[in-house]
Amino acid sequence: MTQWRVLLTRPAEESMALAASLADAGIFSSSLPLLDIEALPITAEQQAVLADLSRYCAVIVVSKPAARLALQHLDQTWPTLPWFSVGAATAQVLADYGLNVQCPATGDDSEALLALPALREAVARPGARVLILRGEGGRELLAERLREGGASVDYLELYRRFLPAYDAGELLQRIQLERLNGLVVSSGQGFLHLQALAGGDWPQVAQLPLFVPSPRVYEMARAAGAEKVVDCRGASAAALLVALRSSAL
């Protein structure tokens, strides 16, 4: 376990929490955030959606930023409808606000959420309508599968993600200086930003083991030439630790 020296690429605050969990397990990590979050202005139409959630049979929140931003615009008169999240950390943000939220007990991905019996029950009724709170783009699988099952799906996009500015070559330099032997991304966009930052150094970066949160990101990475990709089946610290323990250098 202590042989792993991994690069974390989540936003700075999230990387700090993940780094603490890894340190407790004796794993060295270095943080190079590849996702910054910028809140999008809430339009009058979007505010009207949040003010009339009773039209939906379920609300799905795909990330902690989406949860935090949505809660800023909710009043205390929300209807008693089921809320769902992709992961436990997002669920905790919503639960702390007093919402009835459910998430998969295992797996922090769309597939695990879609298999959740409570969500299946919520969308089984005729004319079911679901609201997905997210950033710009992402989690298309959720809507596709829900629509295939007969539900109507609306999006409310609350933020955008962008790649922070770094000097050319900084990624490979960090890897070499800190003798890193593994990379961690928490989303498909995080992987795309990793590849973009690598630029011409991607063939060298692609030789390192890459830990990803889902089968979808696994396929993206493999298609892009990453040589050893490990699907953690979740983006949590616990999922990453299990993957690190089961992966030999």
Of residues 169 and 74, the one with the higher pLDDT is: 169
Lowest mean pLDDT among 174-178, 199-203, 238-242: 238-242
Confidence of residue 105 (pLDDT cuts 50, 70, 90): confident
Cβ–Cβ under 8 Å, residues 227 and 204: no
| 159 phi/psi in degrees, rounded to 5 | -160, 165
Q: In the sheet that 210-212 helps form, which strands lie side by side, from edge to edge?
A: 28-31, 5-8, 182-184, 210-212, 229-231
Mean pLDDT within 195-221? 95
- The domain limits of the chain are 5-34+167-246, 38-161
pLDDT at 27: 95
Lowest mean pLDDT among 1-5, 106-110, 228-232: 106-110
The model's pTM is 0.80
Q: Which residues pair with 84 in a beta bridge?
A: 60, 102
Report which of 216, 221, 247 is spatially closest to residue 86, judged by C-alpha positions. Answer: 216
The pLDDT > 70 percentage for the chain reads: 96
Mean pLDDT within 25-43? 93
Burial of 75 (0-12, 13-18, 19+ CB in 10 A): exposed
| pLDDT tens-digit series, residues 184-193 | 999 888 999 9
User: What is the CATH architecture assignment of 38-161?
Assistant: 3-Layer(aba) Sandwich (3.40)
Collect all residues with Cβ–Cβ distance below 8 Å to 121 and sequence separation of at least 6: none
Domain 5-34+167-246 in CATH 3.40.50.10090? The answer is yes
Decide if 5-34+167-246 and 38-161 have a common fold: yes
| pLDDT tens-digit series, residues 55-90 | 999 999 998 899 999 888 876 556 678 899 988 889
